[in-house]
Structure 1
Amino acid sequence: MAQNPARRTALTDAAIDVLAEQGARGLTFRAVDVRAGVPAGTASNYFANRDELLDQTARHIHHRLTPDPVVLAELLRAPRDRALVTALLHDLVRRVHADRSGYLALLELRLEATRRPELRAQLTATVREQLEANVAYHLGEGLPGDRETVVVLYLAMTGLLVEHLTLPDVLGVDALPALVDTLTARIVP
């Protein structure tokens, strides 16, 4: 397998775009090569098979959606209260908007995981790892609430983001900020 990290990142970025635009059925090595603007056969030199491409793409999506350390440091200057949790969730919404393709690709991977047991196992491990990291971070930073608070916020935000990205007119395009405020007011002690 080829080992150029920059090329691997470009290929996984291209895979994310293909997933977001065409769905899992459109994700082929050829489609990734075309989207990345690389010679035919390049993706197959970096990923042993489609399952590995899907797994690496899922991991890369989570990396792309990770908070900017500078923004996070600025947010964490605030007191450890509900207002800070609200600000962190608004930052999450901002990041999802900035990388809409990444989040839509993650949704596509979740759907594909319902049909592919190997992908389900890999994606479950990746998402569980991210959730546990979020719980540990929340508790480690002394934010209000407990593990259950973080899990309920995770579930509420997942639903809200899915609704907003797929059918934004159901709740109204401008409703998202107020809904995030309401979620934290009702969930975070």
Structure 2
Amino acid sequence: MRQNPARRGALLDAAIEVLAREGARGLTFRAVDTEAKVPNGTASNYFSNRDDLLTQVGQRFYERLDPGPEVISAALEGPRDRARVTELMHELVDRVSAFRSGYLALLELRLEATRRPELRRLLTERIRADIDFNIDYHLRSGLPGDATTVVLFYLAFNWLILDRLTLPDIFPEDQIQDLVTAMVERVLPPDSGRSPGEPA
């Protein structure tokens, strides 16, 4: 297998676009080569088979969605209150929504995972690790809420993003921001005025 990281990344990005546009049935090595504008046979030099390609597409989605250390550090600036959590959730929903093809490709991978045990194992491990990271980050940050708060946000905002990207007329765009704010306000109690970690 070829090991040029930049070329592999470009092929995986092309695969994401194909998967989002054509669905899993349309994801072939030839389609990836065409999307990436490379000679036929290039993708088959980088991925041992279609399962390998699907698995690496799942990993690539999370690589591209990673906000990076600067964004993570910036998230800890300012007060640790409900208003700050609201800002962070708006940023999260907008960042994930902006990567439309990646999110749609991930949905296709989830459907494929019901038929491919190795892909199911990979996605389960990767998504569980992402949830655990977010829980740990939230608890260490001193932001209000607990592990269940993070899980509830994960469940609610994933479905909101799903509707936003696939059936946008259910909740018109001008309602999205209000819905994000309302979710935070209903999951998190009002600020008590205590410092983070201070007992009730």
Q: Pick which of 154-163 and 93-102 moved more.
A: 93-102
**What is the count of residue pairs matched by the alignment?**
189
Match of 1:143 in 2: 143
Q: Is the 8 A contact 1:75 1:87 kept in 2?
A: no
Could you give the per-residue CA deviations for residues 34-81 of structure 1, whole angstroms, max 9, x where no partner exists?
111111111111111111111111111011112244344334212111
- Normalised to the residue count of structure 2, the TM-score between the two structures is 0.89
Determine the C-alpha separation between the residues in 1 that align with 2:103 and 2:33: 21
Matches within 5 A, 1:1-189: 1-189=1-189
Determine the C-alpha separation between the residues in 2 that align with 1:73 and 1:81: 16
Look up the equivalent residue of 1:128 and give its one-letter code. R
Unaligned runs of 5+ in 1: none
Q: SS of 1:111's equivalent?
A: helix
Pick the structure with greater CA Rg. Answer: 2
Determine the C-alpha separation between the residues in 2 that align with 1:14 and 1:80: 40
Q: Is the 8 A contact 2:81 2:143 kept in 1?
A: yes
Match of 2:197 in 1: none
Q: Pick which of 23-32 and 115-124 moved more.
A: 115-124
Q: CA RMSD in A?
A: 1.3
Q: Is the 8 A contact 2:12 2:60 kept in 1?
A: yes
Q: Is the 8 A contact 1:15 1:27 kept in 2?
A: yes
Q: SS of 1:2's equivalent?
A: coil
Unaligned runs of 5+ in 2: 190-200
Determine the C-alpha separation between the residues in 1 that align with 2:154 and 2:93: 12
Q: Pick which of 5-14 and 73-82 moved more.
A: 73-82
Runs of 4+ in 1 over 3 A off after TM superposition: 68-75
Q: SS of 1:48's equivalent?
A: coil
Q: Percent identity?
A: 60
